[in-house]
A and B are shown apart, each in its own frame.
Chain A
Amino acid sequence: MKLKNILIKILIPIISVIFAFIVGAILIASIGGNAEEAFTYLFKGAFGSSANLGKTLVKATPLIFTGLAATFAYRCGVFNLGAEGQFVVGALISIWVSTSVEGVSGVPLIILSLILGALAGGIWGAIPGILKITRGLNEMIVSIMLNYVAVLFMGYLYTGPLREGSVPQTEAVNDALKLGRIYEGSNVHSGFVIAIIVAAIVYYFLFYTSKGFKLRAVGLNDTASMYNGFSVKKYMLMAFIVSGAIAGIGGSVELHGMQYRLMSGFGTGYGFDGVAIALIGQLNPIGTVLVAYLFAVLRTGANTMQVGTGMPTAVIDIIQALVIVFAVAGSALVNLPNVKQLFINITSKKQEKVVQE
């Protein structure tokens, strides 16, 4: 029974991806393109050379962080749509730390910057949490509003006080504060390793600690958890703070590892992508990492496809969006009573046969 559930959880995303690609192929054909050629370029772009492989890992890194942020919060039954804001706030603190702190430099400063980034993200994430548990406010709306505030504030900083020269962007972090490359010939930075470590910690916490168990219990049924004596509100707030911290450290890592400076478009869409990734990954940290990688494959590949075939990258955006549409519908479908019964009928028949034999 348990094995079957795991199998279904793995099958849903895979089938969704296949369906999304089929629809994507139809779409490409309908606007006069060659689907086979387009997808060949897509995968060549993502896997074709070690540089491209590296590019994909770099793209996956921020998505892993925001995906984990969404996973962690939703495991506790709260919806954090504010990962983008928390991501940006983390990066804001980091650029401030790395351009204004004196006396420390190199790796210690990077570590300080990452910790402060996580802290800032956590504080930004705590706001919807606090408003939810004290005022009963809808956490989704609050976190979305905070996204806009954070992004606009970042815009203010890179066009105003922290602007460098005529282009609206901040100055770059200096070379000593850039995250190291994992291997030569690609731009994979150690941030990817940090992302994997965070994923492992989240996995361990959620499934192998009693706090993690309680957190998931609150997510599954808060009334039952309350009568069991779990402090539901405390766990919800914790979920928000940790979720925000994960997104915040993601912003710091992106700043130190990839972008080096703040400019227009920093972090755009990562929050919602994270939610999509978490849902397709069935709220499992391992699934989240894999789906984040898939999204990154689609994105790096999309550029190659656009150059090679002239097919706009927006096709890939649609495929990505279809994956979530199918995956969520698929998860709901297998939970319907009729369908569940169908599954039980199929498996019990098999068992009967075994008995007869």
Chain B
Amino acid sequence: MGDILNAGFIQELLLSTVRMATPILIVSLAELYSERAGLVNIGLDGIMALGALVGFLVGYTTGNPYMGILAGAVAGVFVNMIYAFCVINLCAEQIVYGMAINIFAPAVASFIYKIYFGVNSSLIQGPLMEALPIPLLSSIPILGSVLFNHTPIVYFTYLMVPVTAIFLNRTKAGLNFKAVGEFPKAAESLGIHVIRQKYIACIICGALAGIGGAYLTTCYINTYSDGVVSGRGFIALSAVIFGRWMPGGVLIAALLFGFADALQLRMQVASSDTPYQLLAMIPYLCTLFALAFFGIKKAGPKANGKPYLREER
């Protein structure tokens, strides 16, 4: 073990931590927006799967990964609108419908892939987004390559953290948005259009989760396969709980889970004689332990997960 713990290993580890935390972070932010408006969406994994497929497909056909990311966001919004209609207008149970999305969206993704590329196609490779080093900053030793030599999506994701924090805590629109998740009746009586706010939350959630999925197939690896998401949507869900429903907390949680993911990847490379399955367990176990020791019983928006019926007393 001693020889793998050198400076190069640590630098690589930090670099992949930032990279692996990105999809988790952006999807946790998606969930954060949704839950702040009182909508628990456990369908993130499904939305990511569809985002990953659409992102890959559009990136492959246009040759432009940026278009892929954009298309992934649009696909995410589309599929999340099904969820939105059913839980907001029909007051379907959010958990149940999230589960329905988790089954539906990956099936659609797998279907489109098989129709487009044929049933027995081998792995097809699309374009991969190139890193965009930030001038000056990226030439700082170690730190520069770890933090400032990434694809633009990574910068966008990390930038979303302060943007979200400012929006939710410092702007009137953001406070209105939060009010919907805390006490929708009071919000409605103050003239906030609760239904509209919830739809806005779903649009943001779908778009960010779709980007998170598309990131996997346009920035991280350049192929699509069923199960590419591998539970990241659920890890993102726990990141929101672990981060106490605050953007800063979510960032820390995502970095922790990203670190666990990066660690197992690096260790696979470094020690090939350890069975990779045991190493691949690390992110999931890490999530479990993090939740078990730091998860809290009651926190988060008060009206989280509850259906909102306008006429109900």
Chain A residues engaging chain B, CB cutoff 8 angstroms = 31, 79, 81, 131, 135-138, 140-142, 144-149, 152-153, 155-156, 159-160, 272-273, 275-276, 279, 306, 312, 314-315, 317-318, 320-322, 324-325, 328-329, 331-333, 335-337
Chain A: minimal CB distance from B243 (Å):
13
| Interface residues of chain A: helix, strand, loop or mixed (majority) | helix
A28 to B91, CA, bound (A): 31
Residues in A with CB closer than 8 Å to B82 are 325
Given the contacts A159-B277, A331-B92, A149 and B111 also touching, CB distance less than 8 Å:
no
Chain B: minimal CB distance from A324 (Å):
5
Q: B312 in the interface, Cβ–Cβ < 8 Å?
A: yes
Chain A: minimal CB distance from B296 (Å):
7
Question: Given A31, A138, A160, which contacts B115 in the complex, CB threshold below 8 Å?
Answer: A31
In chain A, what residue has the closest Cβ to B110? A314
In chain A, what residue has the closest Cβ to B242? A141
Chain B: minimal CB distance from A127 (Å):
9
Given the contacts A312-B114, A314-B114, A332-B91, A155 and B277 also touching, CB distance less than 8 Å:
yes
A136 to B102, CA, bound (A): 24
A142 to B238, CA, bound (A): 9
A-contacting residues, B80-119, CB 8 Å: 82, 86, 90-93, 95-97, 99-104, 107-108, 110-111, 114-115, 119
Given the contacts A152-B278, A159-B277, A145 and B107 also touching, CB distance less than 8 Å:
no
Does A312 lie within 8 Å of B111, measured CB to CB? Answer: yes
In chain B, what residue has the closest Cβ to A322? B104
Residues in A with CB closer than 8 Å to B114 are 312, 314
Interface size class of chain B, counting residues whose CB lies under 8 Å from the partner chain: 35 or more
Question: Given A148, A275, A336, which contacts B230 in the complex, CB threshold below 8 Å?
Answer: A148
Residues in B with CB closer than 8 Å to A147 are 231
Does B111 lie within 8 Å of A318, measured CB to CB? Answer: yes
Question: Given B97, B230, B292, B309, which contacts A337 in the complex, CB threshold below 8 Å?
Answer: B309
Does A136 lie within 8 Å of B237, measured CB to CB? Answer: no
**A and B contact pairs by CB, cutoff 8 A, 19 listed:** A79-B95, A79-B99, A135-B295, A136-B296, A136-B297, A138-B291, A141-B291, A145-B287, A152-B278, A276-B103, A312-B111, A314-B111, A317-B107, A321-B103, A321-B107, A324-B100, A329-B86, A332-B90, A332-B92
Which 6 residue pairs across A and B have the least CB separation, nearest first?
A: A136-B297, A332-B92, A156-B277, A314-B111, A321-B104, A321-B107
Using an 8 Å CB-CB cutoff, how does the interface string of B285-311 with A read, 1 for contact, 0 for none?
101100110011110000000000101
Residues in B with CB closer than 8 Å to A306 are 119
Q: B2 in the interface, Cβ–Cβ < 8 Å?
A: no
Q: B241 in the interface, Cβ–Cβ < 8 Å?
A: yes
Question: Given B111, B275, B288, which contacts A145 in the complex, CB threshold below 8 Å?
Answer: B288
Question: Given B86, B235, B241, which contacts A328 in the complex, CB threshold below 8 Å?
Answer: B86
Given the contacts A137-B292, A155-B277, A328-B86, A144 and B231 also touching, CB distance less than 8 Å:
yes
Residues in A with CB closer than 8 Å to B228 are none
Residues in A with CB closer than 8 Å to B101 are 325
Given the contacts A135-B295, A155-B277, A145 and B95 also touching, CB distance less than 8 Å:
no
A160 to B238, CA, bound (A): 31
Question: Given A79, A136, A314, A332, which contacts B107 in the complex, CB threshold below 8 Å?
Answer: A314
A35 to B230, CA, bound (A): 33
Does B297 lie within 8 Å of A152, measured CB to CB? Answer: no
In chain A, what residue has the closest Cβ to B287? A145
Question: Given A137, A140, A152, which contacts B295 in the complex, CB threshold below 8 Å?
Answer: A137
Given the contacts A148-B284, A312-B111, A312-B119, A159 and B103 also touching, CB distance less than 8 Å:
no
Q: B234 in the interface, Cβ–Cβ < 8 Å?
A: yes
Given the contacts A159-B277, A317-B110, A145 and B284 also touching, CB distance less than 8 Å:
yes
